């Protein structure tokens, strides 16, 4: 995974609640078997509209997305996080996130920052195009601090591979398997 420490970049404001992953990346783009190249399909349907927030000149080249609550709700498609990252976003800031989207983002080094509504509103008031620094080490975004799980923080800062981390527990996994014979066998269904 790509490590994340700190970034300074332009902000894009998308002030909508409950933005679902079907909007982030519509299903017709889920047929690809690669992990890259999804950026051009980000918000595909909404992008057709000239007035869409991310089409505005000041939102171009943005690295930080400021958005509404429950961002990334809905489908588990990790393609949504891939598309945001591939488009150029490094950080998404919202009052809350869909659980699976948040996990998917953490897995690929796209930083999901949960910020209280008031602080977020103040940042949004600056508008798209404003410059902002997000520092995971210091846990700050502009003038505000944010909470972050200590383990996730370390994983992101060091760019740790989750599977590698888990495989350090090989002995425990094997011991668990020995003690708990599985009640099912998918190969024995005939």
| Interface residue list for other proteins (CB under 8 A) | 16-18, 20, 22-23, 26-28, 30-35, 45, 68-70, 73-79, 81, 96-100, 103-104, 107-108, 149-151, 154, 162-163, 165-167, 169, 172-173, 176-177, 180, 182-190
DSSP secondary-structure letter at 142? T
Check: CB of residue 161 under 8 Å from CB of residue 1. Answer: yes
What's phi and psi for 153, nearest 5 deg? -65, -45
Task: Name the minimum Å distance from CB 75 to other proteins.
Answer: 5
Q: Which of 141, 140, 74 is nearest to 101 (CA)?
A: 74
Provide the residue count of the chain. 190
Q: 3-class DSSP state for residue 134? A: strand
Using CB atoms within 10 Å of the CB of residue 174, give its burial: 0 to 12 exposed, 13 to 18 middle, 19+ buried: exposed
Between residues 77 and 90, which has the closer beta carbon with respect to other proteins?
77
Judged by CB, which is closer to other proteins: 138, or 173? 173
Cβ nearer to other proteins, comparing 22 with 58: 22
**Smallest gap from residue 136 Cβ to other proteins (A):** 17
In the complex, the smallest distance separating the C-beta of residue 1 from other proteins, rounded to whole angstroms, is 9
């Amino acid at each position: 995974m790509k490590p994340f420490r700190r970034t300074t970049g332009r902000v894009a404001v998308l002030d909508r609640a409950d933005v679902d992953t079907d909007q982030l990346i519509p299903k017709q783009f889920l047929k690809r078997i690669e992990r890259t190249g999804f950026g051009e399909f980000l918000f595909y349907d909404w992008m057709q509209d000239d007035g869409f927030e991310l089409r505005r000149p000041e939102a171009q080249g943005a690295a930080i997305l400021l958005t509404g609550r429950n961002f990334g709700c809905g489908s588990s498609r990790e393609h949504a996080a891939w598309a945001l990252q591939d488009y150029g976003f490094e950080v998404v800031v919202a009052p809350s996130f869909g659980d699976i989207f948040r996990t998917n983002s953490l897995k690929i080094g796209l930083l999901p920052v949960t910020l209280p509504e008031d602080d977020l509103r103040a940042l949004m008031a600056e508008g798209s195009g404003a410059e902002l620094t997000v520092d995971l080490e210091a846990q700050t975004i502009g003038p505000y601090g944010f909470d972050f799980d200590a383990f996730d923080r370390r994983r992101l800062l060091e760019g740790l591979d989750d599977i590698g981390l888990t495989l350090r527990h090989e002995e425990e996994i094997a011991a668990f398997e020995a003690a708990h014979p599985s009640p099912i066998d998918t190969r024995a269904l005939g």
